[in-house]
Amino acid sequence: MQSVAAALDRLGELAASPTVAKLAAAFEAADHEIALVGGPVRDAFLGRQVSDLDFTTDATPDQILEIVKPIAGAHWDVGRDFGTIGAKIAGETVEITTYRSDAYDGASRKPEVVFGSTLDDDLTRRDFTVNALALRLPELTLVDPSGGVEDLIAGILRTPAAPEQSFGDDPLRMLRAARFSAQLGFVIEEGTRAAMFELAPQIDRISAERVRDELSKLLLTATPRGGIRLLVDSGLAERFIPEIPALRLEVDEHHHHKDVYEHSLMVLDQAIDYEVSRGRMASPDLVLRLAALLHDIGKPATRRLEPGGAVSFHHHDMVGAKLARKRLRALRFDNDTIAAVSRLIELHLRFFGYTDGVWSDSAVRRYVRDAGDQLERLHILTRADVTTRNRRKADRLAFAYDDLEERIAVLAEEEELAAVRPELDGRQIMQLLGLKPGPLVGEAYRFLLDVRLDEGPIGPDAAAERLRAWWARRAD
């Protein structure tokens, strides 16, 4: 947290930038108010990099367009119905929104958009006091009607209005509380936190798409664990991703097993650490983080209490993959994300057979083939899934996976392992066997793929000979 004076200096430098200065001058010339608002002002106080420039104004969307057209390299309707216009000014992208005072009517899943008339009213309808800050332009006046600066200094998240009213107006703000708490490391004020617990069922009024987006933003923070724990403790997670609270399995005095919920949070933490330390991810990886959080959601359905105090979860990988597909579809995730996450969950136990005995080259090839383009994520997820406190066991598993990755690298150099395929394609198979397109071609293709995986490259001529022999045996 920077001092107020230092923050104001940063805001002054920002206001002097070509983008902000051009906007301020254009709106002043048009006799309309404009202010830098929300995240950029908050982040200036926190000493964080300011990346998104958001503005608010008393101008209507049509008036905003009229003002920015002469100074914008491009402009577009981000959401004209919601009062927001986007533009590219002096090389930077900005969003400008008309003052608003909208709220939910208690039944609709979307807010009724009502434009406001004053900056103070606009700020007091925002989600949290630390986001209800604005810098009037061009005069550089800080506007803080709700004590946001004091809450920034104290590291507290609090709603400008009564939390019951704020969360009633937009229940998604309860998820935003969890996200900002994790992102900023702030404590949620007691009354605000209590309202989250009390009003958790209200999240049902919010569309799946908005819930998905907020959950994704939480998972993409540097340390999402605290936010996820808050969603579970408050009862919010039960409303839209109940598989996570279900991981809190009861443990009786006779049957002992690892706390699956805490284990899953630790796997998420470790996956993020590996994601950063391995340096192969360009940005925070949502697919990996979803897979880490959800990788054991099949355990509650497969839990069995065995004689002697053991607990088993047979096939929880397959069950979990199925549950993940269903839940992610319900949250309206895209098909690629759903396929990748469910595939990682399905494969996350595959490696543990490696420690039971040395895999053949064929087994290594199959591991790579089955992982496909998810191999790097599978590497990370598998390593992150080791949370045992037994250092000897953890070291043994780490050494084993080091060995597996080294073997994959060696085989990849010897043969294009990442693109393992038969040495004859479908056209060549049909020509050699005199077949027309159909199931028999697929059967022949799979035979050749098994040969390729078992023996590595054998050459097209040898592959053709094997195929003819297989076809003859099949005819018999």
Q: Angle between the 172-184 and 208-219 helix axes, to the nearest 10 degrees?
A: 10
**Distance from C-alpha of 124 to C-alpha of 131, rounded to nearest angstrom:** 10
**Distance from C-alpha of 27 to C-alpha of 87, rounded to nearest angstrom:** 14
Domains of the chain from N-terminus onward: 1-151 (3.30.460.10), 155-240 (1.10.110.30), 245-419 (1.10.3210), 426-475 (no CATH)
pLDDT for res 107: 59
Q: Is the pLDDT of residue 100 over 80?
A: yes
Angle, vertex CA 419, rays to CA 416 and CA 425, nearest 5 = 110
Q: Is the pLDDT of residue 80 over 80?
A: no
DSSP class of residue 367 equals H
Tell me if 130 sits within 8 A of 160, measured CB to CB.
no
> What is the token pair recorded at 458?
């054998």
- 384 — pLDDT class (breaks 50, 70, 90): very high
**Distance from C-alpha of 31 to C-alpha of 20, rounded to nearest angstrom:** 16
Q: What is the pLDDT of residues 289-327, one digit of tens each?
A: 999 999 999 998 888 876 766 777 788 999 999 999 999
**Distance from C-alpha of 13 to C-alpha of 325, rounded to nearest angstrom:** 48
Tell me if 448 sits within 8 A of 429, measured CB to CB.
yes
Residues 6+ apart with CB under 8 A from 300: 243, 246, 247, 249, 260
- The stretch 70-90 carries a mean pLDDT of 87
- The stretch 449-472 carries a mean pLDDT of 84
* SS3 category, 47: coil
Among the listed residues 222, 227, 234, the one whose alpha carbon sits nearest the alpha carbon of residue 180: 227
Q: Is the pLDDT of residue 372 over 90?
A: no
- 285 — pLDDT class (breaks 50, 70, 90): very high
Tell how strand 92-98 and strand 53-57 pair up: parallel
Q: Is the pLDDT of residue 256 over 80?
A: no
| Bigger pLDDT: 136 vs 52 | 136
pLDDT for res 438: 74
Helices (H), 331-436: 335-347, 361-371, 375-384, 391-414, 426-433
Average pLDDT over the chain, rounded to whole?
Answer: 88
* SS3 category, 112: strand
> Which whole-number Å values give the CA distances from 403 to 358, 359, 376, 414, in the listed order?
10, 11, 15, 17
For the chain, the straight-line distance linking the first and the last C-alpha, in angstroms and rounded, comes to 79
The shares of helix, strand and coil residues in the chain, as percent rounded to the nearest 5, are 60, 10, 30
CA 439 to chain CA centroid, Å, is 39
Q: What is the pLDDT of residues 32-59, one digit of tens each?
A: 999 999 999 999 999 888 778 999 999 9
Q: Is the pLDDT of residue 156 over 50?
A: yes
pLDDT for res 429: 86
Q: Is the pLDDT of residue 103 over 60?
A: no
Q: What is the dihedral of CA 357, 358, 362, 367, to 10 degrees?
A: 70
- The continuous run of DSSP H or E covering 137 comes out as strand 134-137
